[in-house]
A and B are shown apart, each in its own frame.
Chain A
Amino acid sequence: AQSVTQLDSQVPVFEEAPVELRCNYSSSVSVYLFWYVQYPNQGLQLLLKYLSGSTLVKGINGFEAEFNKSQTSFHLRKPSVHISDTAEYFCAVTYGGSQGNLIFGKGTKLSVKP
């Protein structure tokens, strides 16, 4: 079955430190990959997406992610985090040829401490 794995349920980090949130997906011929952020009691906001082209994708709020087909990964990175980045982050995948339904990872809680 197609799946998305976010290996870390929680990532604590100090302000201004770099962070990487990991995401792996089950292999397929074509995939479309997304990272969403969710602040408490709010919906999901798109951070970035990979549909095709350059494997390094830049998103909002200084985040970027790299699509690695050989490792079936799409890790999210930020070189220097802020307190305001504290939120839940979800990796999601749509597989080409499917109905376009998103398959979500279980989420990673990023906690930025002063």
Chain B
Amino acid sequence: GAVVSQHPSRVICKSGTSVKIECRSLDFQATTMFWYRQFPKKSLMLMATSNEGSKATYEQGVEKDKFLINHASLTLSTLTVTSAHPEDSSFYICSARKGGSYEQYFGPGTRLTVT
């Protein structure tokens, strides 16, 4: 149990376009979902926290207008990178947490390459 999927696993897009990444909890309801960014050979950097039905809470330094997060249901959160630039190329990982639990379950990640 507690499986989290991400789609797509890899995406290449042109500079200036937008790309959407989906994060789904497959066998549980996730009251909270998290979005992380991981640079090569670096740790995970929390970008934002989203609770179902409410606006996401962004970490300091993360542009909310550039990284749009929607948590429309208890099993789905989306991250949209708008007007992507090459510096947005990175590995994006989501995680999901059940209500009342401290444990996060991680998705397999999405490799975004902006050309």
A→B interface (CB under 8 Å): 32, 34, 36, 41-46, 49, 51, 90, 94, 99-102, 104-107
Question: Range of interface residues on chain B?
Answer: 20 to 34
Complex Cα gap A46–B4 (Å): 13
Please state if B34 and A44 are interface contacts (CB–CB under 8 Å): no
In angstroms, how far is the closest chain B Cβ from the Cβ of A74? Answer: 14
In angstroms, how far is the closest chain A Cβ from the Cβ of B61? Answer: 15
- Complex contacts, A32 vs chain B, CB 8 Å: 102
CB closest chain-B residue, reference A105: B43
Please state if B106 and A107 are interface contacts (CB–CB under 8 Å): no
Complex Cα gap A34–B102 (Å): 10
Which parts of B57-91 form the interface with A (CB within 8 Å)? 91
- Complex contacts, A104 vs chain B, CB 8 Å: 43-44
Complex Cα gap A13–B107 (Å): 29
CB closest chain-A residue, reference B9: A41
